[in-house]
Amino acid sequence: MVTLLLRSLRPHRSLPLRLRLVVDVPLRAGSHGPRLLYPGHIPTTSLQKMLLAAGSAGMALYNPYRHDMVAVLGETTGYCTLKFLRDQMKKDPEGAQILQERPRISLSTLDLRKLQSLPEGSLGREYLRFLDMNRVSPDTRAPTRFVDDEELAYVIQRYREVHDMLHTLLGMPTNMLGEIVVKWFEAVQTGLPMCILGALFGPIRLRAQNLQVLFSELIPWAIQNGRKAPCVLNLYYERRWEQSLTALREELGISPPPKHIQGLA
Amino acid sequence: MAAPRSCGLWRYCCRGWSCSTGDCRLPRLHRSWARATPSARLLSQEKRAAETHFGFETVSEEEKGGKVYQVFESVAKKYDVMNDMMSLGIHRAWKDLLIKKMHPLPGTQLLDVAGGTGDIAFRFLTYVQAQHQRKRRRQLRAQQNLSWEEIAKKYQNEEDPLGGSLVMVCDINREMLKVGKQKALDQGHTAGLAWVLGDAEELPFDDDQFDVYTIAFGIRNVTHIDRALQEAHRVLKPGGRFLCLEFSQVNDPLISRLYDLYSFQVIPVIGEVIAGDWKSYQYLVESIRKFPNQEEFKEMIEDAGFQKVTYESLTTGIVAIHSGFKL
């Protein structure tokens, strides 16, 4: 019907070009205008989500430095799991507060001087030490784009920002081995398909000696702690900076990490 | 036609303005082609607060230039890789066909507008070099009874392997030109190339300078296509040829649907996975839909003063090569 309309308009050369163009029908989900659920949202069809999931999985495996691909994989595959996580958060009082207040962890919201002044062994101080030692910053997390629900977009953003906290809690560095261990922990905790895929396929890129340590000690330790600990998304970390790290680990039931992880690449 | 003549009148008034050297980035050899650029716009009596399209979005005309610049700035490094992935390598055949249609002979002065990464320019140089070599070989064969010394001397006296041909690559985007210059070095194209930063709507060249003007996959990004066509008409020599390779309308309804599906569903995904940039490739496929079809574009070219305008659709109309002459 649209083509008939266009064909009827074409002989009228006197029509201004702009009017002719207005008749064109957008053939895909609008990426601007009232259909946007949150800033940065890109509406996608199921076909696009499937292609994105496949493409980002392949690219993330081919080039592990493409963190944005891991993020995209998480967004496109995690819809159902995110709903489950959101419901879990609502049931827990601290989690419900997080959903209500929507705190964000970024350099602009963190008071670095205050964290520096905290005593050694406190969560805030150890988190800062982790950022410095591994030369990472909380601002490198890409914003959510492909989740088609505003609250779930926040949940996955929170999960990403809490990821660094998990590194601190588990005492894992940000090298490939450390990341895989954290992924195993997250896979057991959250059940996000991206974590599961990362946990299963990440070891492909490791060297043989690391693989041995991974399978013999680190993975069983991660799984055990993941099962014991309550949902880590329910912790209001911003209110717990002064809490001692060992006390927090005890509260969550996380046993200390195997000591020789630091020496491995 | 009334329109080009009146434009010519106010442009004639502006030619007295001196060239502000800050804007004209030309190599020393070609300063004779320099002319005033931004000051000319001040004399324009028409105040454009009008709106135009940026893909399927509506933006003001001032905004569009800036937004298009940002798109190409961000895609410049992955431009060639993405072209290969999106068109499955077919874009190379299209560009080869354009040069074949042009059939440039040694001594041709080509202006390649929006030629950023140099695809057309490099093909032109290779073609012209091959033509020149063929011509020299024919000349040598025709000359009978030459001694060995004379033949050797002929081969040694090769001053210009291009036979006087020159290509100016003009682009509004610095990043694209940077990528193009690097590619030229990598592929070994040293002679016969010049890189100019310029706007297709206001070219920094004098009238009647070039034998051929090409614009490949660039004209749909220009805010005022009619102005770009008028500029093309101005800088060409009488007898010069205008060639445009651009996405156009698919004739077949079934292929059109498949093409739309591929464009809107797959291409932004490829852009995200390979270049990490969804929005630029979304703009790209939308801008293709906004561009006039073969017949309408032919009329626009005729309106700018070109004659013997023809077009050839390639790959069932996904792209078309439009050709016109300044007579």
Q: Residues B67-98, buried b or exposed e (16+ Cβ, 10 A)?
A: ebbebbeebbbbbeebbebbbeeebeebbeeb
B74's CB contacts (< 8 A; 6+ apart) are B275, B277, B280
Our count of domains for chain B comes to: 1
Residue B26 lies in a domain: no
Amino acid A37: pLDDT: 86
C-alpha to C-alpha distance for B13 and A163, rounded to whole angstroms:
65
pLDDT, tens digit, for every residue of B270-309? 999 998 889 999 999 999 999 999 999 999 999 999 999 9
Amino acid A259: pLDDT: 64
Give the nearest chain A residue to B267 (CA atoms): A48
Mean pLDDT of chain A: 81
Q: Residues B186-198, buried b or exposed e (16+ Cβ, 10 A)?
A: eeebeebbbbbbb
Residues B52-68: what's their mean pLDDT? Answer: 88
pLDDT, tens digit, for every residue of B102-149? 999 999 999 999 988 999 999 999 999 999 889 888 888 887 777 788
| DSSP state, residue B239 | E
- E runs forming strands in chain A: none
CB contact under 8 A, A31 and B282: yes
Tokens linked to A249: 């680990």
Residue B49 pLDDT greater than 70, yes or no: no
CB contact under 8 A, B290 and A21: yes
Q: What is the distance in angstroms between the Cα of B290 and the nearest Cα belonging to chain A? A: 6
Neighbours of A257 (CB within 10 A): 20
Q: Mapping DSSP to helix (H, G, I), strand (E, B) and coil, where does residue B323 land?
A: strand
Taking one residue from A and the other from B, the number of pairs with CB-CB distance under 8 angstroms is 54
Question: Does B74 lie at the interface with A, CB-CB under 8 angstroms?
Answer: no
| Partner-chain residue, chosen from B51, B260, B266, that has the shortest CB–CB distance to A27 | B260
Mean pLDDT of chain B: 84
Give chain B positions within 8 Å (CB) of A47. Answer: 265
CB contact under 8 A, A52 and B272: yes
Residues B207-220: what's their mean pLDDT? Answer: 95
C-alpha to C-alpha distance for B125 and B238, rounded to whole angstroms:
23
pLDDT, tens digit, for every residue of A73-113? 999 998 999 999 999 899 999 889 989 988 888 877 888 88
Residue A4 pLDDT greater than 80, yes or no: no
CB A237 within 8 A of CB A218: no
A216's CB contacts (< 8 A; 6+ apart) are none
Q: Mapping DSSP to helix (H, G, I), strand (E, B) and coil, where does residue B212 land?
A: strand
ipTM of the complex: 0.77
Give chain B positions within 8 Å (CB) of A56. Answer: 272-273
Amino acid B215: pLDDT: 96
| Surface of B (38-57) touching A: CB under 8 A | 51-53, 56-57
* pTM confidence score: 0.76
pLDDT, tens digit, for every residue of B81-92? 899 989 999 999
Residue B160 pLDDT greater than 90, yes or no: no
| More reliable by pLDDT, A261 or A13 | A261
CB B212 within 8 A of CB B108: yes
Residue B307: its H or E element: strand B307-314
pLDDT, tens digit, for every residue of A237-252? 888 888 888 888 888 8
Residue B175 lies in a domain: yes
Q: Per mean pLDDT, which of A35-44, A108-117, B4-13 is the most reliable?
A: A35-44
Amino acid B269: pLDDT: 94
pLDDT band at residue B314 using 50, 70 and 90 as cut-offs: very high
Percent of chain A whose pLDDT exceeds 70:
85
Amino acid A19: pLDDT: 40
pLDDT band at residue A178 using 50, 70 and 90 as cut-offs: confident
List residues in chain A touching B: CB distance below 8 A.
3, 10, 13, 17-18, 21, 24, 26-28, 30-32, 42, 45, 47-48, 51-52, 55-56, 58-59, 66, 68-69, 72, 145
Indicate the range of A49-63, A172-186, B213-227 predicted with least confidence. Answer: A172-186
Residue B7 lies in a domain: no
pLDDT, tens digit, for every residue of B240-267? 999 999 999 998 999 999 999 999 999 9
C-alpha to C-alpha distance for B235 and B203, rounded to whole angstroms:
8
- CATH number where B75 lies: 3.40.50.150
Residue A36 pLDDT greater than 90, yes or no: no
Range of the domain at B233: 51-326
Residue B27 lies in a domain: no
Give chain B positions within 8 Å (CB) of A55. Answer: 269-270, 272-273
Q: Is A135 left (phi over 0), alpha (psi -120 to 50) or beta?
A: left
Residues flagged as binding site of B for S-adenosyl-L-methionine: 117, 171, 199-200
Residue B23 lies in a domain: no
Amino acid B6: pLDDT: 44
CB contact under 8 A, B265 and A47: yes
Residue A12 pLDDT greater than 50, yes or no: no
Percent of chain B whose pLDDT exceeds 70:
84
Residue B213 lies in a domain: yes
Residue B3 pLDDT greater than 50, yes or no: no
| Partner-chain residue, chosen from A18, A26, A55, that has the shortest CB–CB distance to B56 | A26
Residue B42 lies in a domain: no
Q: What is the distance in angstroms between the Cα of A119 and the nearest Cα belonging to chain B? A: 41
Residue B155 pLDDT greater than 60, yes or no: yes
pLDDT, tens digit, for every residue of A142-157? 789 999 989 999 999 9
Residue A187 pLDDT greater than 50, yes or no: yes
Give the nearest chain A residue to B57 (CA atoms): A32
CB contact under 8 A, B268 and A48: yes
CB A158 within 8 A of CB A233: yes
